[in-house]
């Protein structure tokens, strides 16, 4: 029997399970969960190279966790926006980005892939790393990220895997049916898109058309 609060908790579109633990860190163990998420740095470094943020670009990362990728993108001169449902992870990211927040090069806000709270066509790139299976609604997530991207803007979604997965990710590789569903819904919203294996991550990429 599920707990009384399970019906009120956000759930994964893939498994239907309530989001808890690493999916939505909270409570006294959240700091440890944030530290553990930093073990994914090899994956995040690869995503950084794929995104290739440039000075002056506006980049939103949904589900940023402790904020390592946001910090690296800010180091390259991008204006970074973090959107995260976990208050504990937002606090860790705030600590990591404190100088960028003071200088006005970064902002952090509560939200999800399905509801970022950002204006229409306000970012050049949208990024999601290791959290697409725990979005609550796949179609709504893609619809929202399409909305906030400027025409010609890029979406980069990464998940554990690739040709040489990091050891902790080998049991998290998506089944083919999940890959196919993600790619199908991505193409339905963006009018195109691709799925490819990087070295350490599985990548889904799409571009918002420059014209309607």
> pLDDT tens-digit profile of 80-133?
999 999 888 899 899 999 999 999 999 999 999 999 999 999 999 999 999 999
**Domain 40-207 is of which CATH architecture?**
3-Layer(aba) Sandwich (3.40)
- Phi and psi angles of residue 134, each rounded to the nearest 5 degrees, phi first: -105, 10
Of 60, 80, 68, nearest to 38 by C-alpha is 68
Question: Starting at the edge strand that comes first in sequence, how are the strands of the sheet with 58-62 ordered?
Answer: 106-110, 79-84, 58-62, 123-129, 149-160, 201-207, 194-197
Closest listed residue to residue 182, CA positions, set 134, 149, 110: 134
Helix (H, G, I), strand (E, B) or coil at 141: helix
Condensed to tens digits (0 to 9), the pLDDT of residues 48-58 reads 999 999 999 99
Using the structure block, give the residue that is written with the tokens 């025409």: 151
Amino acid 70: pLDDT = 97
């Amino acid at each position: 029997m599920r707990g009384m609060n399970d019906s009120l908790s956000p759930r994964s579109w893939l498994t239907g399970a309530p989001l808890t633990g690493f999916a939505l860190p909270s409570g006294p163990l959240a700091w440890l969960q944030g530290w553990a998420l930093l073990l994914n740095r090899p994956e995040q470094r690869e995503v950084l190279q794929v995104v290739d943020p440039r000075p002056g670009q506006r980049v939103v990362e949904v589900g940023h966790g402790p904020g390592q990728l946001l910090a690296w993108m800010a180091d390259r001169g991008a204006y970074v926006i973090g959107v995260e449902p976990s208050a504990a992870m937002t606090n860790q990211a705030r600590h990591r980005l404190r100088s960028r927040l003071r200088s006005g090069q970064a902002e952090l806000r509560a939200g999800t892939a399905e509801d970022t709270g950002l204006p229409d066509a306000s970012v050049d790139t949208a990024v999601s790393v290791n959290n697409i299976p725990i979005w609550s609604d796949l179609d709504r997530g893609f619809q929202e990220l399409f909305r906030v991207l400027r025409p010609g803007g890029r979406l980069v979604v990464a998940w554990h895997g690739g040709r040489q997965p990091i050891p902790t990710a080998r049991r998290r590789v998506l089944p083919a049916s999940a890959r196919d569903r993600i790619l199908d819904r991505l193409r339905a919203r963006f009018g195109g898109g691709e799925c490819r294996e990087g070295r350490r991550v599985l990548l889904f990429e799409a571009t918002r058309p420059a014209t309607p």
